[in-house]
């Protein structure tokens, strides 16, 4: 069927839309939506904080969860931090795959067996600094290379930045080991 007029096209669209619970935006809604989206232009390169894993096979980050640091507040310890743990994110992804009966792939192993890290913003005496928290695995994959990928992903090219290595983010180490260490020293 060939549509000859805009009126016929609108009529057909409205019939289809009613069946599918879809409607066309009004001119006012469209104007407000465009204004809302255009307000995002200024924040596209704002620094972000969050968590990630590094996939050595694909040479890329995955499982990235992040937020604009400017939208967060410093906590009592002086950090802007995304409130998600690697352990919890990994478990949720495993559960999704199990429900869908899909292969686990890399998610089939313990979350600590894959290189991971966290980006946060830390208050200093005079200013702030963005820190990449990771394990000594970073030296195995090329510190400068990983730093470049992370800075790009989290928009950290033009801000003070440092890498901080700690055993918590080492391969095979995570929260359960932290509690074991605390018990051993108690």
pLDDT digits (tens, 9 = 90+) for 98-117: 999 999 999 999 999 999 99
DSSP result, 117-165: EEEEEEE-SSSEEEEEEE-THHHHH-HHHHHHHHHHHTT-TTS-EEEEE
According to DSSP, the β-strands at 116-123 and 79-80 are antiparallel
Same domain, residue pair 35 and 123: no
Domain containing residue 51: 45-185
Same domain, residue pair 24 and 68: no
Output the pLDDT for position 120.
97
| Per-residue confidence band for 161, with pLDDT thresholds at 50, 70 and 90 | very high
Output the pLDDT for position 32.
87
Mean pLDDT of 22-42: 81
Output the pLDDT for position 39.
76
Question: Which residue, chain included where needed, has tokens 């096979």?
Answer: 57
| Per-residue confidence band for 124, with pLDDT thresholds at 50, 70 and 90 | very high
Same domain, residue pair 158 and 177: yes
Burial class (CB in 10 A: 0-12, 13-18, 19+), 65: middle
Token pair belonging to 55: 């996939």
In a domain, 1, yes or no: no
Q: Is the dihedral of CA 103, 175, 134, 151 positive or negative?
A: positive
Angle at 7 between CA 6 and CA 12, to 5 degrees: 95
Q: How far apart are CA 36 and CA 117, in angstroms?
A: 33
What value does the mean pLDDT of the chain take?
86
Same domain, residue pair 127 and 109: yes
Same domain, residue pair 79 and 152: yes
Q: Is the pLDDT assigned to residue 146 strictly greater than 90?
A: yes
Distances (CA, A) of 115 to 1, 71, 87, 136, 140: 57, 27, 13, 9, 10
Same domain, residue pair 34 and 65: no
Same domain, residue pair 36 and 74: no
Same domain, residue pair 174 and 87: yes
In a domain, 165, yes or no: yes
Same domain, residue pair 60 and 144: yes
Same domain, residue pair 20 and 91: no
Confidence (pTM): 0.75
Q: Is the pLDDT assigned to residue 177 strictly greater than 70?
A: no
Indicate the range of 9-18, 32-41, 125-134, 139-148 predicted with least confidence.
9-18
Same domain, residue pair 124 and 149: yes
Looking at the DSSP bridge assignments, the partners of residue 163 are 132
Same domain, residue pair 119 and 162: yes
Output the pLDDT for position 42.
66
Give the total number of structural domains in the chain. Answer: 2
| Per-residue confidence band for 55, with pLDDT thresholds at 50, 70 and 90 | very high
């Amino acid at each position: 069927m060939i549509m000859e007029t805009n009126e016929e096209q609108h009529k057909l669209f409205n019939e289809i839309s009613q069946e599918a619970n879809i409607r066309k935006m009004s001119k006012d809604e469209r104007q407000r939506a465009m204004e809302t989206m255009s307000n995002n232009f200024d924040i596209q390169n704002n620094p972000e904080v969050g968590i990630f894993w590094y996939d050595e096979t694909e040479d890329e980050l995955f499982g990235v969860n992040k937020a604009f640091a400017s939208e967060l507040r410093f906590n009592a310890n002086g950090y802007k931090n995304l409130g998600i743990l690697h352990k919890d994110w990994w478990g949720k992804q495993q559960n999704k795959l199990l429900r869908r009966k899909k292969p686990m792939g890399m998610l089939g192993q313990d979350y600590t067996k894959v290189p991971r890290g966290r980006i946060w913003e830390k208050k200093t005496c005079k200013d702030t600094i963005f820190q990449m928290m990771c394990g000594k695995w970073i030296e195995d994959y090329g510190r400068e290379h990983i730093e470049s990928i992370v800075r790009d992903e989290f928009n950290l090219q033009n801000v003070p930045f440092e890498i901080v290595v700690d055993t918590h983010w080492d391969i095979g180490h995570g929260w359960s080991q932290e509690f074991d260490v605390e018990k051993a020293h108690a």
